[in-house]
Structure 1
Amino acid sequence: MSGAANPALLLGASLSAMAAALHLAIIVGGAPWYRCFGAGEGMAKLAQAGHWWPALLTLGIAFVLLVAAAYALGAGGWSAALRGLPGLRWVLLGITAVYLLRGLAPWPAMLLQPELRQPFWIWSTLICAGYGGVHALGLAQAWSRL
């Protein structure tokens, strides 16, 4: 890959890394944090009981978000070491699609079912749509160089 670094993909990488850090903080924060960030009462109760499942699931999400950050850094030209990640173009396209789907797909259901219009779903959906938009912009700018 040649050319200048891509600021949109740097922002996308930063957003994914911050989301990963938040997920790690939720593990440390325990049940109150699972409740606060909308994981559901079931997950909060499991965390409160010391069950391994909430931490493992949340750690898995954090890992996926860190991989997304690494791919955005590689595609954005910010790290020579990450430019050689396998399937850089297509994996980043998949990451972008997942963010956009998570950010856009829930809206019809929320519009049709008012009980789904909970703050967690509204905010997380808006955040994911924003993340997807940033990644899409960066990917469009870098596509020909990948």
Structure 2
Amino acid sequence: MNKPLFIAGCMTAAISLMHVGIVIGGPDWYRFFGAGEMMALQAEQGMIEPIIVTLFIALIFAVWALYAFSGAGLIIKLPLLKPILIAICGVFLLRGLAGIPMVLFNDHPYLNELAGKMTFMVISSLICLIFGYLYLKGILRMSSGKVHFKQK
């Protein structure tokens, strides 16, 4: 088993479930988890858009978790496994490294709002860097040929 990808998969699945929890938790949860005031206000008004967007993000994280579990050798080998894992790793590392500079040096209402929540930005950036590191370590371990995949 590829332990870094297993851990990354578990953490990514937890993030997916957290997004489902945000939908259930409502407007205050949208605010706390950095979705922005506009999304929170839309949720307060009973609009469907925040639910659709948040559940779509949850779905993306769930698929990413499946790819991590596949790379860990826990489930069958999924199509385009290595390139997709590399892309996932890149997204997490990019968010981790560029998230804070992006909110500090761009003028956009949502980014300006996030610039006022620097504790959230620092913590979420560190989390993304940890995820990216785990995916990278797991990908490198896969490349060494130490992972055996489940058969169909």
Q: Judge same fold: TM > 0.5, yes or no.
A: yes
Aligned-residue Cα RMSD (Å) equals 1.8
- Offset of 1:109 from its aligned partner? 4.3
The CA deviation string for residues 23-76 of structure 1, in whole angstroms up to 9 with x for no partner, is 000000010100111111110000011101101000011000011100011111
Q: TM-score, normalised by structure 2?
A: 0.84
Q: Is the 8 A contact 2:12 2:64 kept in 1?
A: yes
2:85 aligned with 1:89? no
Going from structure 1 to structure 2, the CA distance change for 1:9 and 1:41 (only over 3 Å counts) comes to same
CA drift at 1:107: 3.6
Which residue of structure 2 aligns with residue 55 of structure 1? 51
Aligned twin of 2:4 = 8
- Name the structure 1 match of 2:29: 33
Question: Which residue identity does 1:38 align to in structure 2?
Answer: G
Superposed CA offset, 1:93-114 (max 9, x none)? 101111111111124346768x
Task: State the distance in 2 between where 1:22 and 1:14 align.
Answer: 12
Q: Secondary structure of 1:105's partner?
A: helix
Q: List gaps (5 residues or longer) in structure 2.
A: 107-111, 148-152
Stretches of structure 1 that go unaligned for 5 or more consecutive residues are none
| TM-score (ref. length: structure 1) | 0.87
Q: How many residues align?
A: 138
Equivalent position of 2:150 in the other structure? none
Q: Which amino acid aligns with 2:86?
A: L
Q: Percent identity?
A: 37
Partner of 1:103: 96
Task: Supply the distance in 2 between the matched residues of 1:91 and 1:110 (Cα, whole angstroms).
Answer: 27
- Cα gap change, 1:51 to 1:111, in 2 (>3 Å): closer
